[in-house]
Amino acid sequence: MFKKKAFLLLGVIALTLVLFLAGCQFVNAPLLTPTETKISGFHLQGAILYFEKLYKGDAVIHFGEIKDPAEGMIGYGFVHIPEDCEILKRLDGEEEASLEDLAVGQMAEIFVPEILESYPWQATATKVIITSPDPKESLKPLSLVLAPDFEGIITAIHEQTEPFHSLTITLEITSAPKYPELKEETVALDRQALLWEETASGYELISRDALVLGQKISVLLKDQGLDRIVSEIIVLLNEE
């Protein structure tokens, strides 16, 4: 009986020792370090909505991000173009370009290492590829690529003195597929907004003075969250 109890006791001690050693081996085993995710950068496609060359030889653009033209601009940000940024033009073929080739209304691709999550977002480009001609040369409005946000009749025009726009325009809305309940809207012109007049043969650039009460226009917004700022207006052809 004593031998049987002694055998059981030795068995318990042996089992305890095995578990203890196993536990020590687990604790001392090196912990796996998670693989670090490295983001190489962002490749954005969209339109240049504002361009300003700075005195240091660099520039800044306002960029409207576009993934699907049918969805319109899905994001809006400020992009710094440093002096050493690579700039290319990809039209018939690919060739080197410069800051002088950048223009409002162009489609472009930009490469940025990181995006600051402000509103609007901010980034510095390492590479820019121009993918459409200067609209002032091709006479093709951006609204041929992106559907305008709405159409309407001009009912009021007021002068503005704020930095980025000089006019506010009130419209009686005639068509707004994105905003079916919209009946009236007031928009502000960006100071570099492109203004067009539709003609029987195409489009012509016009000045702000050519906007008058009673005209039917289409409006392409620069950013819906920034006081309804306009990037492009087309005075539509009179259907009568």
Task: Give the pLDDT of residue 204.
Answer: 97
Helix (H) or strand (E) holding 169: strand 165-175
Do 148 and 221 sit in the same domain of this protein? yes
The predicted model gives 195-217 an average pLDDT of: 96
Quick check: 132 and 107 in contact, CB under 8 A?
yes
* pLDDT level of residue 126 (50, 70, 90 thresholds): very high
Task: Give the pLDDT of residue 190.
Answer: 84
Taking the C-alpha atoms of residue 148 and residue 129, their distance in angstroms, rounded to an integer, is 25
* Tally of domains within the chain: 2
- Judged against a pLDDT cut of 80, whether residue 232 lies above it is answered with yes
Encode pLDDT of 33-60 as tens digits. 443 333 357 899 999 999 999 988 899 9
Give the percent of the chain with pLDDT over 70: 79
Task: Give the pLDDT of residue 206.
Answer: 97
- Judged against a pLDDT cut of 70, whether residue 8 lies above it is answered with no
* pLDDT level of residue 162 (50, 70, 90 thresholds): low
Strand-pairing partners, residue 187, are 169
Do 59 and 109 sit in the same domain of this protein? yes
Bigger pLDDT: 10 vs 208: 208
Do 130 and 150 sit in the same domain of this protein? no
Phi, psi of 39 (to 5 degrees): -95, 120
Taking the C-alpha atoms of residue 8 and residue 96, their distance in angstroms, rounded to an integer, is 86
Determine the structural domain holding residue 119 and report its residue range: 42-134
Which of 145, 138, 147 is CA-nearest to residue 218?
147
Question: Structure pTM?
Answer: 0.78
Task: Give the pLDDT of residue 132.
Answer: 95
Task: Give the pLDDT of residue 90.
Answer: 94
Do 123 and 176 sit in the same domain of this protein? no
Do 155 and 217 sit in the same domain of this protein? yes
